[in-house]
Amino acid sequence: MQQAQKPFYKHLLILGISLIVAVGLGWILGQILLLLVIALAGWLAWYMFNSYKLSVWLLSDPGASSAKLHLPEHLQTALNINEQRITAQITQQQERFSALLDATDAFPEPLLFIDAEFNLQRFNPAAVNSLGFDQHNIGASVCDALEQAEFTHWLESRGLEADHLKITSPVDNNLSFRVQLLKYSEDKYLLAFTDITKIQLQNQIRHDFVANVSHELRTPLTVLNGYLEVLKADQADPNHEVFKKLYKQTVSMNDLVTDLLELARLQDESSTPKTITAMVDVSLLLNELSLTATELSLDQHSIEYNIDKALIIPGKKRDLKSAFGNLIANAVRYTQPGGEIQISWFRQAGSAVFEVIDNGPGIDSSDIPRLTERFYRADAGRNRNQGGTGLGLAIVKHVVEKHHGKLEIESQEGHGSTFRISLPLARI
Ligand code: ADP
C-alpha cells in the first residue's frame, strides 16, 4: 500500500504543476479557460488510454506480464505487488498439491482416482505393482482394467450394496484386496485398496485346522457312540447309569463336531457360488423340518405353521435347511413344555420372511447383539444342559449373509423371542 502511495503523490504533484503551467500560459495568452480545458482534456485522454490498456491486459492470458503496459508509476507498482502476491499463492498451492501427490505415491497400498463414469484419472505406484496398472489405463474404464463382474456390479451401485468388496489382483491370483469407494468431490471418487492376503491366509489356516480336527474326531466319536449306545441298553448292568451319561456326552460331542464342520463348510467361500440361481421350495423344506421339530419337542409344545406354499426363493437348500432348522430347534429346546411356537413363511415387500416366535424364557436385551458369536450363550449354565452347541446362531448368521439377507432378533426376558430372517426375492 505504502509502496504505491509515493508514486501516487508524485503523480498528483505533476498533475498540479501541469495545471498551474496551463493557467500561467493562459494568463500570458489571455486564454486561461481554454488552456485549462486543453490541459484537463489531455490528462483525461491519457487516463482513458491507460484504463483501456489496463482492461485489455486484465482480459488477456493470465500469464501475460504487466511490465510492457507502461502505466502511471503508482498503478504499475500496485500491479507488480499484486502479481507477486498471486505468484506466491500459486507457488504455495502447487507445493501443497505436489506434497499431496507425493503422499499418495508413497502410500504402500493401491489408490485409484476415478471420475463419475469410472474412468481412471490417476493411480499410485502401488497400483502398478499390485494391480498391473500403467499409463494406458489413464482415461479408460477401471472396470475394464480389473475385469471382474462382481467389482463392476458393486461399483455401479456406488458401493451402496456393501461398503467394501473383496477382490483378487488381475495380475496375481494370490493377492487379495479389500476395496472401498470414497467420494471426495462432486463427481470424483477414490478406490482405496487394502492388501488382505496375509489375513486371509491366517483365516484359512485357522479354518482348515478346525475343519481337520473336527473331521479327525468324527470317526472315533462315532465308534464310541455306537458302543456306548449298546452298553447303555442293558438296564441290568451295574454301570448302566455311567454308560447313559457317557453316551449323552458323546452325543453332545458329535453335535459339536457336526456344527463345527457345518460352520467350516459355510465359511469356505467356494462352497456357495457368488450368484445363486437355484430355486428352493421352502414349504417342502419346512415339511421335512417339522418332523425333526415334533421329534425334538416330544409333543410337549404346541407348534403352529403359517406357510405360503407358493413362495419359493433363489437359494441353497442345504444352507437354508441348516439355518431354519437351527431356529426351530432353539425355539423347541428353550421353550418350556406346554409352550407355544409359531413358524411362518410369508412374503413382505420385496422379501421372503422366515419367522419363529416362541413364548419361552426370552433373552436379556444385553445378550441379543452377541448371540451370533460362536459359543456365546445367554444363560451358559442352563443352556448347556439343554443340549446346544453354542454354534447354531453363528451358522444362521453365515447362511443369512451368504444369501444377502437380514437376521432380526426381538426378545424380552420372560416374554418369549422372535427370530426373523428376511431374504431378497430377486436375484441373489
Ligand atoms: P445353542 O446351541 O447354545 O442354542 P445358539 O447359537 O443356537 O447356541 O444360541 C445362542 C444362545 O442364544 C443360546 O445359548 C440361548 O441362550 C439363546 N437362544 C437362542 N434361541 C433362543 C430362544 N428361542 N429362546 C431363548 N434363548 C435363545
**DSSP string covering 271-287, please?**
GS-SS---EEEHHHHHH
Give the mean model confidence (pLDDT) for residues 240-260: 93
Please give the distance, rounded to the nearest whole angstrom, from the Cα atom of residue 377 to the centre of ligand 1: 6
Please give the distance, rounded to the nearest whole angstrom, from the Cα atom of residue 330 to the centre of ligand 1: 6
Stated pTM of the model: 0.70
CATH 3.30.565.10 placement within the chain: 279-424
- pLDDT-based confidence at residue 157 (cuts at 50, 70, 90): confident
CATH 3.30.450.20 placement within the chain: 107-195
Please give the distance, rounded to the nearest whole angstrom, from the Cα atom of residue 256 to the centre of ligand 1: 14
- The DSSP call for residue 119 is B
- Mutation pick for ligand 1 pocket among 333, 383, 396, 419 (CB with most ligand atoms within 8 Å): 383
Mean pLDDT of the chain: 90
- Mutation pick for ligand 1 pocket among 266, 366, 371, 409 (CB with most ligand atoms within 8 Å): 371
Task: Give percent of the chain with pLDDT exceeding 90.
Answer: 71
The whole-number pLDDT of residue 41 equals 95
Cα 214–chain centre separation: 34
Please give the distance, rounded to the nearest whole angstrom, from the Cα atom of residue 294 to the centre of ligand 1: 19
Those residues whose C-beta lies under 8 Å from the C-beta of residue 277, and which sit 6 or more positions away, are 314, 427
Give the mean model confidence (pLDDT) for residues 216-243: 93
Is the pLDDT assigned to residue 82 strictly greater than 80? yes
- pLDDT-based confidence at residue 74 (cuts at 50, 70, 90): confident
Those residues whose C-beta lies under 8 Å from the C-beta of residue 345, and which sit 6 or more positions away, are 282, 283, 286, 306, 307, 308, 311, 352, 353, 354, 355
The whole-number pLDDT of residue 81 equals 86
Sheet containing strand 351-358, edge to edge, reads 302-307, 340-348, 351-358, 417-424, 406-411
Give the mean model confidence (pLDDT) for residues 40-48: 93
Please give the distance, rounded to the nearest whole angstrom, from the Cα atom of residue 234 to the centre of ligand 1: 34
Which residues contact ligand 1 via a Cβ below 6 A? 326, 330-331, 334, 358, 360-361, 363, 371, 376-379, 383, 388-394, 417
CATH 1.10.287.130 placement within the chain: 199-271
Is the pLDDT assigned to residue 25 strictly greater than 90? yes
Is the pLDDT assigned to residue 428 strictly greater than 60? no
CB 280 within 8 A of CB 320: yes
| Fold topology of 199-271 | Helix Hairpins (1.10.287)
Give the mean model confidence (pLDDT) for residues 224-235: 93
Name the nearest CA neighbour of 179 among 202, 148, 135: 148
Please give the distance, rounded to the nearest whole angstrom, from the Cα atom of residue 72 to the centre of ligand 1: 89
Tell the residue nearest (CA) to atom 16 of ligand 1.
378
- Mutation pick for ligand 1 pocket among 363, 367, 399 (CB with most ligand atoms within 8 Å): 363
Question: In the chain, what's the furthest Cα-to-Cα distance?
Answer: 153
Cα separation of 358 and 96, whole Å?
63
Nearest atom, ligand 1, residue 379 CA: 16
CATH superfamily of 107-195: PAS domain (3.30.450.20)
- pLDDT-based confidence at residue 417 (cuts at 50, 70, 90): very high
Q: Which residue has the higher pLDDT, 259 or 382?
A: 259
- pLDDT-based confidence at residue 269 (cuts at 50, 70, 90): low
Give the mean model confidence (pLDDT) for residues 187-196: 94
The whole-number pLDDT of residue 386 equals 67
The whole-number pLDDT of residue 270 equals 58
Give the mean model confidence (pLDDT) for residues 422-426: 88
Please give the distance, rounded to the nearest whole angstrom, from the Cα atom of residue 346 to the centre of ligand 1: 24
Lowest-confidence range among 66-70, 169-173, 371-375? Answer: 66-70
- pLDDT-based confidence at residue 271 (cuts at 50, 70, 90): low
Cα separation of 244 and 263, whole Å?
29
The whole-number pLDDT of residue 75 equals 84
Is the pLDDT assigned to residue 64 strictly greater than 90? no
Count helices and strands (H / E) in the chain.
Answer: 12, 12
Q: What is the Cβ-side half-sphere exposure of residue 252, based on CA atoms within 13 angstroms?
A: 14
Is the pLDDT assigned to residue 110 strictly greater than 90? yes
| Fold topology of 279-424 | Heat Shock Protein 90 (3.30.565)
Q: Which residue has the higher pLDDT, 424 or 67?
A: 424
Please give the distance, rounded to the nearest whole angstrom, from the Cα atom of residue 124 to the centre of ligand 1: 49
Give the mean model confidence (pLDDT) for residues 325-329: 96
Those residues whose C-beta lies under 8 Å from the C-beta of residue 418, and which sit 6 or more positions away, are 355, 356, 357, 408, 409, 410, 411
Q: Which residue has the higher pLDDT, 273 or 348?
A: 348
